[in-house]
Amino acid sequence: MTRKLVLTTATLIGIAVLAGWWFLLRDDAPPPPDLESAIQIASAAQVTTSTTTTVINSSTMTPTTLAPTSTTKAPTTTTPTSTTQALDSTEAGGITGTWAVDTTIGSFGIDESTSSFVGFRIQEVLAKGIGEVTAVGRTPQVDGTLSFLEGSLAKAEITADLTELRTDRSMRDSKVQSALNTSTHPNAVFILDGEISINNEQTIESVVSGSLTVNGLTNQIDVELQGQLVGQIITVVGKFEVSLSDYQVEAPSAPIVASVEDEAIVEFQLFFVEATSENSTAAVVTTTTMNPLVIENVEQLNEYIAQAASFNQSDSDWLLPGNLDPSAGGAPGFTRYVFRQTSAGVVPTLVEGPIGPQYRCQEESLPCSYLELKELLESNSPIPEQMGLSSKELAELVAELDLLSGFLEEHKDVNKACEKGYLSDRIQTANMGSHFIKADAFGNGFDPSEPEIILYARADETLPNKELGQCRDGVWNGQPMTLVGSAFILPPTQKDNSHPKGFTGDLDNWHVHLNLCRGNSSGTDTFVPKEECEKSGGNFHETIGWMMHAWVSPEHDNELGVFSMWNPSIAPFGDTSSVEERFLVQGENFPEGAKQSLVTNFAFEEKIEVEAGQSVYFNNSDSVPHTISAGTPDVPELEEFDSGILNPGDNFQIDTSKPGSYPLFCALHPDMTALLIVN
């Protein structure tokens, strides 16, 4: 179910070359903000038609109606209307209370911004004597307030979201983001020093002092600003100079750029409306002008929400909705669903769950391994919130893992397992080991002190590609083995949505294998139809029940977490990041050379980076529908690209040809956002 969207079409090479030179030589940077234009924008925004906005609730699938956000452009031939007011002494005295930045006024674009924005302009010198150009960048994501007291501006604080910064040449965007270190310090903050008296002049023109924080560093600056009350809107424009070196910002570089000046101009255009209450956001400014594209976007988002509301998660034992038409994709151990391509079509081969509060604790930055959990308990350090464990639960979990560790210590010798009735599956799985299974323990229920499966691996640390030995008369007849871990298994009899009883807390994430061909004679597992499996001498399993690994061998402490499916300390060796890449699943329709990006755990990759011409192949491996929609929840740009509803197992392909930065989000879960960077 692949959908393709081409961001731009290819052009003839000759035309592209000429266009490229024209692109480099020209310097048509957008003009700086000026008060007269800002007054026209504020005047045009105040017409007697109201609008409303409803927020999508990301925690529910209940249909929510969105009303279009109003946008308008300032008429270029109109002078300020009678709603424009001078700040005379009488009026100035009437301005009191708190006024907040209103981001609903106007629309944002690099070439022509009729909204609030904060930006910069800086001179670049191009190589080979081409000349100078002015680089301009702007962000519309601005928040802030003005506080007035007895005719004076007593306080002002403005915050600009630099992660939304876009430049007039999209190929610069990623380099600017990197130079400003926005991944660590996403915001720039200005705070006014002292008070500003509002006099009886028609416009406010003043130089004010304040502090500016960028890249985590704060310096004092002087700001040239102009302001005027226009009806119910305070309009403010201004600029100030900054030195990149003062904020430890290294100017972005590129082969065509010989140098970039250290001095930059920061400029802004801001519209403030009076806050309706102490805790309210800015009041909505009315307009009669609607952007048809915005209306279309909102209507489309409403349709997606309605479609998602009809999605019914099955209450069957494996929690697979019956209305799926999936494509191959996913990564076992990292995504809820995995679908694989077979000669009989695409089939599910793994499901995690059931759906619940379980947390896949396998981030290296978290204390998720057995030894790290023990250290966390002994040190009385704060428990990371993501892990969802209380101090009591942590103590109980470690005690259970200690019981398991004691059991495994008694079975370090593989012959001990054979003696106790454990039988080898004769297959060593990569980053996992060989499963020694005690079938008569399956019906005993969960017991942390007696796992149904013990995991061993070749002592020579190799990964064999043929069958292993086996237990005969209580003795192992194969190559020397070393104990690496354990696993638990429950029969496939559960018929509800409850999570299997397991270890204390929500870290024990169970999974179930489906449509598995165990190749005992060949030493490998495959995913083929039953007929092919049996013909090759394998044993076909429609399912083998709920399973969970537990890694408590100190010699193989698992950086991916005590309950992870994979363990990078077992052959083939590698770092934790390489494990996920190794187990990515792709089907026959996967585009050659594409970047695969998994949608799982209600999250996108935060930053997806590709080269121009390289496809991005999104795979929804989550438990619910999502969308891949261009723009942001506040400013959707569905005309750029939009996947529509992606059910679990659906894929969406974006073919890139135009360099730039493309924000994207899920229309159903607005907290899910990402940035696609095309180099």
> Which pair of structure tokens corresponds to residue 431?
């980053």
Write down which residue in 555, 580, 605 finishes a domain. 580
pLDDT band for position 300 (cuts 50, 70, 90): confident
Q: Are residues 425 and 574 in the same domain?
A: yes
User: Which pLDDT score is estimated for 241?
Assistant: 94
CA distance 396 to 406: 15
Predicted model pTM:
0.53
Q: State mean pLDDT over 446-472.
A: 91
Please report whether residue 90 resides in a domain: yes
**E strand segments, 568-634:** 595-599, 607-610, 616-620, 629-630
CA distance 422 to 518: 17
Write down which residue in 247, 264, 288 finishes a domain. 288
Q: Are residues 152 and 241 in the same domain?
A: yes
Please report whether residue 267 resides in a domain: yes
Please report whether residue 519 resides in a domain: yes
User: Which pLDDT score is estimated for 291?
Assistant: 52
Q: Are residues 410 and 546 in the same domain?
A: yes
Q: How far is CA 310 from CA 306, 307, 627, in A?
A: 7, 6, 15
Q: Are residues 224 and 366 in the same domain?
A: no
User: Which of 88-97, 126-135, 249-258, 500-509 is predicted most confidently?
Assistant: 500-509
User: Which pLDDT score is estimated for 23?
Assistant: 36
CA distance 200 to 92: 7
Torsion-angle region of 96 (φ positive above 0: left; ψ -120 to 50: alpha; else: beta): beta
Write down which residue in 254, 288, 322 finishes a domain. 288
- Residue pair 284/271 in contact by the 8 Å Cβ criterion: no
Please report whether residue 438 resides in a domain: yes
> Which pair of structure tokens corresponds to residue 514?
């489906």
- Residue pair 512/351 in contact by the 8 Å Cβ criterion: yes
CA distance 251 to 124: 10
pLDDT band for position 258 (cuts 50, 70, 90): low
Tell me the pLDDT tens digit for each residue of 308-328: 665 655 444 445 666 677 888
Q: State mean pLDDT over 104-122.
A: 88
Q: Are residues 277 and 369 in the same domain?
A: no
Higher pLDDT, 51 or 169: 169
pLDDT band for position 4 (cuts 50, 70, 90): very low
Residue type, 647: N
Closest CA to 238 of 306, 156, 314, 308: 156
CA distance 24 to 505: 59
Strand partners, 161: 187
User: Which pLDDT score is estimated for 499?
Assistant: 67
Q: Are residues 394 and 279 in the same domain?
A: no
Domain count of the fold of the chain? 2
> At which residue do the structure tokens 């428990």 appear?
383
CATH of the domain at 202: 2.40.128.110
User: Which pLDDT score is estimated for 48?
Assistant: 36
> At which residue do the structure tokens 């005027």 appear?
228
> Which pair of structure tokens corresponds to residue 140?
């519309």
Closest CA to 484 of 461, 454, 511: 454
pLDDT band for position 281 (cuts 50, 70, 90): very low
- Residue pair 192/184 in contact by the 8 Å Cβ criterion: no
Q: Are residues 148 and 269 in the same domain?
A: yes
Tell me the pLDDT tens digit for each residue of 389-411: 999 999 999 999 999 999 999 99
Number of H helices, E strands in the chain: 10, 32
CA distance 91 to 99: 15
- Residue pair 455/484 in contact by the 8 Å Cβ criterion: yes
> At what angle are helices 391-410 and 370-379 packed, to 10 degrees?
130
pLDDT band for position 461 (cuts 50, 70, 90): very high
Please report whether residue 334 resides in a domain: no
Tell me the pLDDT tens digit for each residue of 509-555: 888 888 888 765 555 778 888 888 888 888 888 877 788 999 999 99
CA distance 551 to 558: 6
CA distance 346 to 356: 26
Q: Are residues 90 and 232 in the same domain?
A: yes
> Which pair of structure tokens corresponds to residue 395?
């103590």
Q: Is residue 364 over pLDDT 50? A: yes
Q: Are residues 528 and 384 in the same domain?
A: yes
Q: Are residues 383 and 247 in the same domain?
A: no
DSSP label of 89:
H
Please report whether residue 276 resides in a domain: yes
Cβ count within 10 A of residue 363 = 14
For residue 93, give its domain range. Answer: 36-46+83-288
Please report whether residue 14 resides in a domain: no
CA distance 608 to 240: 34
Q: Are residues 378 and 497 in the same domain?
A: yes
Tell me the pLDDT tens digit for each residue of 571-593: 887 666 677 778 888 887 788 88
Among 95-104, 414-423, 445-454, which stretch is predicted with the lowest mean pLDDT?
95-104
- Residue pair 146/156 in contact by the 8 Å Cβ criterion: yes
Torsion-angle region of 421 (φ positive above 0: left; ψ -120 to 50: alpha; else: beta): left
- The DSSP string of 172-212 is GHHHHHHHTTTTT--EEEEEE-S-EE--SSSSEEEEEEEEE
User: Which pLDDT score is estimated for 629?
Assistant: 92
CA distance 563 to 344: 33
Tell me the pLDDT tens digit for each residue of 468-485: 899 999 999 999 999 999
The angle formed by the CA atoms of residues 403, 367 and 395, to the nearest 5 degrees, is: 40
**E strand segments, 460-533:** 471-472, 475-476, 481-490, 511-519, 524-526
Q: Are residues 458 and 576 in the same domain?
A: yes
Q: Is residue 59 over pLDDT 50? A: no
Please report whether residue 638 resides in a domain: no
Q: Is residue 643 over pLDDT 60? A: yes
